[in-house]
Chains A and B, each alone.
Chain A
Amino acid sequence: MRSHRWFTPWLLVAPALLWLGAFSFWPAINTVRMSFTNAKPLGGTEQWVGLRNYTNLFSDPQVANALLNSVVYMAVCLPLLTLLPLGIAVLVEKKIPGITFFRTSFYLPVIASAVVVALLWNLVLDEGGVVNNIVQSLKWVQGPIPFLTDRWLVVFSSISLTVWKGLGYYMVIYIAALGNVSKDLHEAAAIDGAGAWRRFWSVTVPGVRGAMILVAIMICVSALRIFTEPYFLTGTTGGPGGFASSFVMIIQQYARGLLGNLGYASALSVVLFFICLIPMLILARQNRKES
C-alpha cells in the first residue's frame, strides 16, 4: 500500500479553503470591521467610529419596524412551512397513477423567478387587481382591500407568497425523509388500531424529526433574511413610511449607491447575523435534547 505525503490532504482541501476564505470568511470579517467605521463604497476618509453605528441602530425606528416584521414573518412561516409541506409530501408520496403531475405542480413555483412571481402577485393583489375585483363584485367588501399599502396586509401578502413558493421545496426534502420511515412501524400501528391521523403524529412525524429540524432552521433563517417578496410587492419602496420593509431591505437601502453608508449597513448585517443565530441555536438545542 502506497503512503501519501503528509500535506496531500491539505492540497486537496486548499481550493475549497481558498474559496471559502476569499468569499466567505474574509467578507464576514471585513463586515464586522466596517461596522465600527463610517466606511463608504469608494473608500476615502474611512474613520473608526466605535459603537456609534450600533447605538444609532438601536434608536432607529426603521430598524425596530423591520425587526418586528421579520420576526412576525418567521413566526408565521415557521409552523406553516414546517407542517404544510410535510402533509403534502405524505399525500404525494403515494404511488398512484398520475401522482407525478401533482408532485411537479407543487414544485413548479420553486423554479419560478421570485422577482417575476412577486410582480405577478403585485398585479393580483393591487387595489384594481384580480382579488379585489372578485371580492368587490361579490359585495364582500365596500372598498378595495389595501393588500399592498397597509403594513400588516403587505407583510401577510408577502408571507403568503413565500409559503406558496416554498411548499414544493420543503416537500421534496420531506419526500426524501419519508423514504426512511419504516413501513413496518405503520403496519404495526395499524394492527394496533391506530388511525391515519394517529399514525401521522406517532409514526411519521417522529420518523422525519431530523428533517423537520433542518427545515425549521432553513425557514427561520430565510424568513429573517426575506427581501424579494416585500421589496417587489411594495414597488421597492417598503410601503408608506417604509413600515413594511424587512431587515435586509433596510440594509440594502443604506448600503446602495455611490454615497451609501457601508458602516451602518455592516452594523445592521452583524446584528441580523446574531438574530439568525438565536432560532438556530434554540432548534439545535431542542434537537440535542430529544436525541
Chain B
Amino acid sequence: MRKLIPAAAAVAVAALALTACSGGGGTSEPAATGEIKGEITLQTWSLTPKFQPYLDKVIKGFEAKYPGTKVKLLDQPGDGYSDKIVSQASTDSLPDVVNIPPDYGVALAKSGALLDISSVQKDLDKTYVAGALDAFKYRGLDGVYGLPWYLNTDISYWNATQMTAAGLDPKKLPTTVDEQIAQAKIMHDASGGKNFLMSSKPAVGDFARAGVPILNEDGTKTAFSTDAAVQLLQKYVDAYKAGYYPSSVLNDDYLGNSQLFTKGQVAFSTGGGPAYKDFVRDNPSLAKSIVMGPALNDQPPLYVQGLAIAKKSKNQATALAFANWILNPENQLEFANLTNTFPSTTASASDPSLSKSDGTPAGDAKVLAFNSLQKAKVLSPIEFNDAMNKILNQQVSLAMKGDVPAKKALDDAASQIDKLLANQ
C-alpha cells in the first residue's frame, strides 16, 4: 500500500498537469446569429489610456442600443501581444472580440480559433474597402476571418534642418531610393560623414516594393533570391560601404529608423500619419525641422488592424453585433480622426474630413498618408513571420557590413527561411 501512494501521487500530479494543459474541447459551436444579449469582452492592443474615453463611449452606445448586453474592455500592452494571443488561444480563453492584425489571424484561423465571418454576414465586400478586407482572406482557407478596423500606411519624414545644412533643398525631396542615395552622398560629403540621410536596411517590404516575389504561388517556398533583389541589396551595401549610414543600423530592427530620427542622428525615417506627433512629443526640437513626403518608389505599404470573433465565444451573436457596431462608418470615422488613421468601410473611407488638413503639420501628415493610402498594398506575405523577418534582417546586415556578397546573403536567408516554411 505504501508503495502505491507515491505512484498514485505521481499519476495525480501528471494528470493534474495534463488537465491544466489540455484544451476545453468538446463544446458545441455557438451560434453567430441569435439574440443579442449577455456579456462579451473586447480585447484591444495598446489603445488605452489614450483612447479609453472613445472606447468607453462606443461601448456605452452599444449597451444602450442593446439592453441586456455588457461589454468588458481589456487592453493589452504593445509588447508581447502575439505571445498573449497564443496563450489565450491555446487555453480557449480568446476574448469574444479581439483586435488583431492579419498576420496574427492566419495562425488563429488555421487552428480553428476564429469565426469565418463571411459564413454569417454576406455583404462584406460591399461594406469594406477591398485591399483591407482581402488581408483577412487567407491562402488555403475559405472565408473571411476578421473585419478591417483602422488602416495606415507609411510616408517619409525628413529633417529639413540637416538637409539645408548639407546644401540640399527640402522642397526637392527624394522620391526614389536612387535619389535618396544620391542626396545621402551630398549630406555625407558636406558634413564630413557626420550626418546621414539613410536610416533603414531593406526589409521584406522593400523587396516586394521593387517587384521581387517574396514567396512562390502557394506560399510554401521563398522566391526572393533573384537578380532584381541582389541588385537592390547591392545598392544598400554600396551606400553603407560609402559611409552613408550610421553603423548602428546593422543592429536595428523595424523601429530602428524612427528611433534614430527621433534622436536627430539621421535625417530620414518612415512612419504613419500619427508618427509626426510621436516624433515631436519625444523630441520637441524636431517640430521646426520635419518635412514630409510620400513613401519612396511610389509604393506605400498598407497596414491593417482588424477585429476578429472567437469561434468559441459563448455570445457570438453579441460579439458580431458589437464588432459591426464599432466598425460602423460613424464610429470608425470618429476613431480615424482621433488617431490620424483611416477607416476601412467604403462609406467612410472617402469622407472629406480625412482629406482636409487642419493646417497643422500633423494634419498635413494625415492628408499625405490619406493620399498615399489610395495606392497602398499589403507588401509582406502573411506567412512571412517574425523569425523569417529576423533571418532576412540578419543576412542583409551581414551583406551591408561587407562580410558576404549580396547574392550569398539572400541565398542563405532563403535557405534558412525555406526550412521554416517547410515546417508550417
Chain A residues at the B interface, C-beta cutoff of 8 Å: 6-7, 10, 14, 17-18, 21-22, 25-26, 30, 38, 40-44, 56, 60-62, 126-128, 144, 146, 148-149, 234-243, 253-254, 256-261, 263-264
A258: contacting residue among B82, B393, B404, CB under 8 A: B82
If A62-B416, A242-B394 touch, does A256 touch B386 (CB 8 Å cutoff)? yes
If A30-B21, A148-B248 touch, does A259 touch B83 (CB 8 Å cutoff)? no
If A44-B112, A257-B385, A259-B107 touch, does A240 touch B9 (CB 8 Å cutoff)? no
The residue on A at minimum CB distance from B256 is A235
Q: Does B123 contact A (CB under 8 A)?
A: no
Question: B248 near A26 (CB under 8 angstroms)?
Answer: no
Chain B residues at the A interface, C-beta cutoff of 8 Å: 2, 5-6, 9-10, 13-14, 16-18, 20-21, 23, 82-83, 85-86, 89-90, 103-104, 106-108, 110-113, 246-248, 250-253, 256, 265, 383, 385-387, 390-391, 393-395, 397-398, 400-401, 403-404, 412, 416, 419-420, 423-424
* Overall SS of chain B's interface: helix
Task: Please give the distance in Å from B236's CB to the nearest CB on chain A.
Answer: 13
B5: contacting residue among A7, A149, A238, CB under 8 A: A7
Question: A44 near B110 (CB under 8 angstroms)?
Answer: yes
A144 to B103, CA, bound (A): 40
* Overall SS of chain A's interface: loop
Question: B391 near A235 (CB under 8 angstroms)?
Answer: no
The residue on A at minimum CB distance from B251 is A235
- Closest 8 CB pairs between A and B? A21-B13, A26-B17, A241-B398, A258-B107, A42-B111, A240-B397, A235-B251, A242-B394
Question: B394 near A18 (CB under 8 angstroms)?
Answer: no
**Interfacial chain A residues near B401, Cβ < 8 Å:** 149, 240
B403: contacting residue among A10, A18, A26, A241, CB under 8 A: A241
Question: A257 near B387 (CB under 8 angstroms)?
Answer: yes
A261 to B385, CA, bound (A): 11
If A127-B248, A149-B401 touch, does A253 touch B14 (CB 8 Å cutoff)? no
Question: B6 near A254 (CB under 8 angstroms)?
Answer: no
List 7 other contacts, CB 8 Å, given A149-B397, A235-B248, A253-B387: A40-B111, A41-B90, A235-B251, A254-B387, A256-B387, A257-B386, A257-B387
A36 to B256, CA, bound (A): 37
Question: A10 near B5 (CB under 8 angstroms)?
Answer: yes
**Interfacial chain A residues near B110, Cβ < 8 Å:** 42, 44
A280 to B246, CA, bound (A): 43
**Interfacial chain A residues near B423, Cβ < 8 Å:** 38, 261, 263-264
* Residue among A26, A30, A241, A242 facing the most chain B CB atoms (10 A cut-off): A241
A30 to B21, CA, bound (A): 10
Question: B9 near A237 (CB under 8 angstroms)?
Answer: no
**Interfacial chain B residues near A236, Cβ < 8 Å:** 253
